[in-house]
């Protein structure tokens, strides 16, 4: 064999070693460079960030701004309560994690130990309420109902209650001045959620975990200006959570105050009269169903006709918003949301929609005039109207012969409007409309009145109502066709027959559809706020206003005032001549028409009233009462579900609301001293730097000269507000201190 001498590594191996050495040196160089960048070049920056990781925040909630009525009377404010809180940081340092302290605390507060321990748990996906959703370094409230004796026990025996404090804190309160509840308008507060915190993270008004936010009503609509800015104290803590020092602090900034157009006295009258009307309706027998009327819900709106400002808005059933303060109990929550509650959280003035009945005839009258019919023409008011074998009856079979549109409004003749709508339906081509766009005057006019869309009231979750025109019918048919075709029967029950017809031609405008629509029946839906909007427009000459409740935002010291100006969203599609003849006809409803029997003795020559009654039929339920009215100053609309006729159920209540506004007495005389608001309130209350409020003046109604003089606003309603007698508890001062508060009430109202 030939021996090969070992003369060293081959050139290929040497090249590989060199490459490896270069790679190793490159990695070491890169690592060294990165360490230099982190520790030397950016060392100070990262040290600051690392330090920040050990800074914890303790939040001092801002005092929420007050919500005031038009005279400066607080309808939502804050009160000082004794709040017992626990420091979770201190409790976690104890061997038993504070169990003994919390058990002892429960004994002092008269609570169950487990209930107290649950309150200091931190919320997560697996932990059910009650638990704490805020920072673990924030004092956790145990109760806001501690009495002075309990607080004194805790403070005097502080060695027995380490980590427990009992301090006065400002909490939200709804004082209901003069028993004016105003619940659905005001809304309520509840703790912010994690989702809301994330959504508002990069906005100009981010949330803190300790924040309470508005959930409905004005509290939600104006939450950003009412909330203010919380104060934050930053503490340095070690890796065990122990405080080792105090960092920067930012003081809390109180929220601004919201002045509304609500007058608490008129609000109380509206609530009282609505409730009384519902009770009276329940005592009346319904011959159609063979039982008394249920009158299970209702609403009333009082609106300034010339501005759209809401003076009063009531919804029934109602509730006490104070039940939400400090956290609502399971019992109260069930009572507000359970099947038997009839949903008192619902604001039926803006969210309750139903067929408007004959109050809709002002729209149909305007539609007929736009279509070319003369207001003073002769139209047959027969006892019934027959179409294709179906008979549409006039109310109680009345027959007035040939009458004008004005007289048809006064006596609410259905058959006049049946005939007009039927004629227009035929002109448009009937069930097979002419090529091109049908004129559809009756539907087009409703949209021109602002119907079928929200009014724009400054409250959340307003519904739009419904104008069941051709476009709506097509969409509705497409969504429900399969269900109708599945359940419909040609010879079945009434509901099954309707489903069968809808299956075949529910996408078409049928003759009966347009006839029903002309008197506010069928699929037509309106809300009380929409009715108030259009009747205000008739009163003021045709301007449709966005209804508003907020009147001004005033800074805590009263120095900065931002007025909320009324905004218009259009005009009625009628000229001045048409408006004037309609106005005259609606006045006739009060003096000789369907509402005359409820307005006897009203001083019509001094304060002209105008009205339209409505009795809407709802399948499977009793009739809905509607009464829409206006004067030169206000529009008042009331509706009560399952309560009978418009004038029968609502007439007396609406009459008494006007009595209270203008000071009209039982004999028809006018007493200015008893008038709550004879002309709309224009001026704003003044908030002084010391927190006191100066009420503005109101103008006195002079029925002879129709001029105004100054008069201080005084008085709140008595238990019978319609009497318009000032309460003996009413303040006779024009300056009111915001610290003068009535006691908190907790109850559900039905």
pLDDT at 716 over 60: no
Inter-axis angle of helices 646-662 and 264-282, nearest 10: 150
Tens-place pLDDT, residues 178-209: 999 999 999 999 878 777 878 877 776 777 76
Query: Among 37-41, 497-501, 685-689, which stretch is predicted with the lowest mean pLDDT?
Result: 37-41
Band (231; pLDDT cuts 50, 70, 90): confident
pLDDT, residue 747, reads 35
Residue of 629, 632, 638, 635 whose CA lies nearest to 593:
629
Rounded-to-integer distance, Cα 472 and Cα 482, Å: 17
pLDDT, residue 3, reads 53
Inter-axis angle of helices 528-540 and 361-370, nearest 10: 50
Strands (E), 342-442: 379-381, 384-387, 390-393, 401-403
Rounded-to-integer distance, Cα 417 and Cα 520, Å: 10
pLDDT, residue 467, reads 98
pLDDT, residue 548, reads 98
pLDDT at 239 over 80: no
CB atoms within 10 A of CB 399: 12
Decide which of 33 and 242 is more confident.
33
pLDDT, residue 49, reads 55
Strands (E), 251-389: 257-260, 285-286, 291-292, 297-304, 310-316, 379-381, 384-387
Calculate what percentage of the chain has a pLDDT beyond 70: 86
Rounded-to-integer distance, Cα 118 and Cα 140, Å: 11
pLDDT at 1 over 60: no
3-state secondary structure of 173: strand
Q: Are 171 and 741 in contact (CB under 8 A)?
A: no
pLDDT, residue 26, reads 80
pLDDT, residue 714, reads 38
pLDDT at 19 over 60: yes
Q: For all residues of the chain together, what is the average pLDDT?
A: 86
Q: Which domains does the chain have, with CATH numbers?
A: 56-260 (3.90.1310.10), 264-319+345-355+528-736 (3.40.710.10), 358-517 (3.40.710)
Mean pLDDT, range 303-326, rounded to an integer: 94
4-13, 27-36, 37-46, 257-266, range with greatest mean pLDDT: 257-266
Q: Rg of the chain's alpha carbons, rounded to an integer?
A: 34
Query: Among 44-48, 74-78, 97-101, 115-119, which stretch is predicted with the lowest mean pLDDT?
Result: 44-48
Mean pLDDT, range 38-64, rounded to an integer: 65
Decide which of 32 and 146 is more confident.
146
pLDDT at 62 over 90: no
Mean pLDDT, range 694-699, rounded to an integer: 72
Band (56; pLDDT cuts 50, 70, 90): low
pLDDT at 46 over 70: no
pLDDT at 380 over 90: yes
Token pair listed for 480: 């429900």
Query: Among 61-65, 128-132, 238-242, 586-590, which stretch is predicted with the lowest mean pLDDT?
Result: 238-242
pLDDT, residue 725, reads 38
pLDDT at 117 over 60: yes
pLDDT, residue 590, reads 97
Cis upstream peptide for 36 (omega within 30°): no
pLDDT, residue 750, reads 34
Rounded-to-integer distance, Cα 379 and Cα 455, Å: 33
Count H helices, E strands: the chain?
23, 30
Query: Among 137-141, 226-230, 354-358, which stretch is predicted with the lowest mean pLDDT?
Result: 137-141
State the Cα torsion 94-96-98-101 to the nearest 10°.
Answer: -110
Q: Are 364 and 581 in contact (CB under 8 A)?
A: no
pLDDT, residue 45, reads 64
Band (141; pLDDT cuts 50, 70, 90): confident
pLDDT at 293 over 70: yes
Kindly list the distances between the CA atom of residue 276 and the CA atoms of 650, 719, 722, in Å, as whole numbers in the listed order.
10, 12, 11
Decide which of 232 and 451 is more confident.
451
Residue of 703, 688, 700 whose CA lies nearest to 737:
688
Band (737; pLDDT cuts 50, 70, 90): very low
Tens-place pLDDT, residues 246-262: 667 777 789 999 999 99
Decide which of 218 and 35 is more confident.
218
Q: Are 77 and 65 in contact (CB under 8 A)?
A: no
Mean pLDDT, range 317-334, rounded to an integer: 84
Band (41; pLDDT cuts 50, 70, 90): low
């Amino acid at each position: 064999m030939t021996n090969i001498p070992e003369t060293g590594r081959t050139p290929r191996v040497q090249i590989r070693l060199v490459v490896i050495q270069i790679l190793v040196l490159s990695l070491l160089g890169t690592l060294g460079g990165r360490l230099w960048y982190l520790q030397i070049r950016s060392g100070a920056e990262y040290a600051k960030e690392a330090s920040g990781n050990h800074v914890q925040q303790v939040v001092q909630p801002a005092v929420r701004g007050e919500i005031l009525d038009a005279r400066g009377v607080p309808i939502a404010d804050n009160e000082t309560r004794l709040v017992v809180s626990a420091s979770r940081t201190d409790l976690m340092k104890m061997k038993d994690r504070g169990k003994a302290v919390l058990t002892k605390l429960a004994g002092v507060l008269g609570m169950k130990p487990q209930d107290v321990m649950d309150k200091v748990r931190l919320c997560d996906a697996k932990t059910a309420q009650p638990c704490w959703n805020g920072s673990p370094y924030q004092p956790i409230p145990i109760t806001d109902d501690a009495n002075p004796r309990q607080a004194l026990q805790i403070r005097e025996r502080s060695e027995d209650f380490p980590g427990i404090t009992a301090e006065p804190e400002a909490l939200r309160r709804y004082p209901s001045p003069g028993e004016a509840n105003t619940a659905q308008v005001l809304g309520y507060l509840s703790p912010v959620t994690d989702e809301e915190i994330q959504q508002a993270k990069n906005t100009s008004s981010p949330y803190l975990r300790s924040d309470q936010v508005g959930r409905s009503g004005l509290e939600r609509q104006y939450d950003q200006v009412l909330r203010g800015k919380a104060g934050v104290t930053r503490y340095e803590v070690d890796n065990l959570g122990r405080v080792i020092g105090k960092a920067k602090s930012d003081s809390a900034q109180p929220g601004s105050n919201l002045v509304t157009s609500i007058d608490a006295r008129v609000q109380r009258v509206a609530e009282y009269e609505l409730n009384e009307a519902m009770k009276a309706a329940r005592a009346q027998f319904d011959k159609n169903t063979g039982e008394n009327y249920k009158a299970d819900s209702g609403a009333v709106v009082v609106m300034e006709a010339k501005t759209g400002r809401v003076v009063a808005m009531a919804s029934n059933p109602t509730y006490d918003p104070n039940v939400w303060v400090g956290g609502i109990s399971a019992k109260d929550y069930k009572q507000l949301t359970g099947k038997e509650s009839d949903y008192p959280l619902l604001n039926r003035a803006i969210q309750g929609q139903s067929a408007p009945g004959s109050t809709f005839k002002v729209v149909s009258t305007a539609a007929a005039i736009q279509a070319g019919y003369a207001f003073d023409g002769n139209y047959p008011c027969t006892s019934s109207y027959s179409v294709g074998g179906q008979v549409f009856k006039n109310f109680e079979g009345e027959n007035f012969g040939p009458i004008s549109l004005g007289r048809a409004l006064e006596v609410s003749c259905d058959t006049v409007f049946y005939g007009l709508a039927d004629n227009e339906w035929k002109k448009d081509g009937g069930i097979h409309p002419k090529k091109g766009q049908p004129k559809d005057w009756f539907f087009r006019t409703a949209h021109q009145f602002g119907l079928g869309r929200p009014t724009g009231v400054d409250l959340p979750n307003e519904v739009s109502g419904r104008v069941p025109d051709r476009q709506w019918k097509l969409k509705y048919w497409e969504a429900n066709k399969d269900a109708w075709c599945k359940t419909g029967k040609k010879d079945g029950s009434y509901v099954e027959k309707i489903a069968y017809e809808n299956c075949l031609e529910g996408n078409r405008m049928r003759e009966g559809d347009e006839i029903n629509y002309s008197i506010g029946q069928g699929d037509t839906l309106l809300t009380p706020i929409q009715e108030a909007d259009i009747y205000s427009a008739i009163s003021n000459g045709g301007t449709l206003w966005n209804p508003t409740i907020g009147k001004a935002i005033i800074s805590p010291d009263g120095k900065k005032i931002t007025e909320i100006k009324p905004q218009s969203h259009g005009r009625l599609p009628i000229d001045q001549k048409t408006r004037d003849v309609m106005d005259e006809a609606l006045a006739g409803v009060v003096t000789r028409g369907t509402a005359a029997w409820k307005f006897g003795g009203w001083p019509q020559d001094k304060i002209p009233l105008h009205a339209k009654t409505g009795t809407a039929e709802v399948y499977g339920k009793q009739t809905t009462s509607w009464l829409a009215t206006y004067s030169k100053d206000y529009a008042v609309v009331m509706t009560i579900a399952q309560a009978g006729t418009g004038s029968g159920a609502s007439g007396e209540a609406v009459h008494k609301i006007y009595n209270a506004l203008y000071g009209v007495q039982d004999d028809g005389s006018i007493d200015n001293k008893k008038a709550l608001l004879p002309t709309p309130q224009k001026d704003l209350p003044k908030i002084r730097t010391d927190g006191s409020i100066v009420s503005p003046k109101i103008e006195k109604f002079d029925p002879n000269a129709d001029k105004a003089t100054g008069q201080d606003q005084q008085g709140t309603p008595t238990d019978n507000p319609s009497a318009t007698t000032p309460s003996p508890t009413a303040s006779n001062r024009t300056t009111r201190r915001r610290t003068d508060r009535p006691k908190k009430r907790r109850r559900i109202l039905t």
